Amino acid sequence: MNLNYTSSQKNGYLRTRPFSVLWGFEAMNYTKLKGMVDLLPKESLLWKKLSHKIEDFFEKAGFLYIETPYLEKTELFARSTGKETEVVQKQMYSFLDKNEESITLRPEATASVVRAYVENKIYGQKSVEKYYYFGPMFRYEKPQKGRQRQFFQYGVEIIGTADAKADAEVISLVWHLYKKLNIQFNLKLNSIGCSQCKTVYREKLSGFLKNKMLSLCEDCQRRATKNPLRVFDCKNETCQKNIAGAPLVLDYICEACRGDFKKVQAYLKNENIDFEVDPKVVRGLDYYTKTAFEFISGALGAKDALCGGGRYDNLVESLGGPSTPAVGFSGGMERLILAVQSSGLPAGENESLASVFFVTLGDEAEKQGLKIANELRNKSVRCLIGYDQKSIKAQMRLANKEEAQFVCILGENELKLGKVSVKNMKTGDQEEVALQKLAEYFL
Interface with ligand HAM includes 308 (CB under 6 A)?
yes
Which is closer to ligand HAM, CB of 146 or CB of 228? 146
Interface with ligand HAM includes 330 (CB under 6 A)?
yes
Options 18-26, 249-257, 322-330, 405-413: segment touching ligand HAM (CB under 6 A): 322-330
CA atoms within 13 A on the CB side of 199: 2
Interface with ligand HAM includes 325 (CB under 6 A)?
no
Residue 425 sits at the vertex; the CA angle it makes with 419 and 431, to the nearest 5 degrees, is: 30
Longest CA pairwise span in the chain (Å): 91
End-to-end CA distance of the chain: 47
Alpha carbons 422 and 428: distance in angstroms, whole number: 10
Q: From the CB of 152, what's the least distance to ligand HAM, in Å? A: 8
Q: Which of 159, 257, 306, 356 binds ligand HAM (CB under 6 A)?
A: 306
Interface with ligand HAM includes 216 (CB under 6 A)?
no
Bridge partners, residue 329, by sequence: 156, 309
Alpha carbons 205 and 196: distance in angstroms, whole number: 14
Alpha carbons 303 and 168: distance in angstroms, whole number: 25
Interface with ligand HAM includes 79 (CB under 6 A)?
no
Interface with ligand HAM includes 158 (CB under 6 A)?
no
Number of residues that bind ligand HAM (CB under 6 A): 28
At 353, phi and psi to the nearest 5?
-105, 130
At 16, phi and psi to the nearest 5?
-85, -15
What is the footprint of ligand HAM within residues 271-290 (CB under 6 A)? 284-285
3-class DSSP assignment, residue 224 = helix
Options 53-61, 331-339, 391-399, 429-437: segment touching ligand HAM (CB under 6 A): 331-339
Interface with ligand HAM includes 82 (CB under 6 A)?
no
Interface with ligand HAM includes 404 (CB under 6 A)?
no
Contact 195, 314 (CB under 8 A): yes
In 3D, which of 262, 322, 332 has the Cα closest to residue 294? Answer: 332
Alpha carbons 328 and 265: distance in angstroms, whole number: 16
Per-residue binder mask for ligand HAM (CB under 6 A), 332-371, x = binder:
x-xx------------------------------------
Per-residue binder mask for ligand HAM (CB under 6 A), 106-135, x = binder:
--xxx-------------------------
Which is closer to ligand HAM, CB of 279 or CB of 369? 279
Which bin fits 401, alpha (ψ -120 to 50), beta or left (φ > 0)? alpha
Q: From the CB of 35, what's the least distance to ligand HAM, in Å? A: 8
Q: Which residues bind ligand HAM (CB under 6 A)?
A: 108-110, 139, 141, 146-148, 151, 153, 155, 157, 284-285, 305-310, 312, 328-332, 334-335
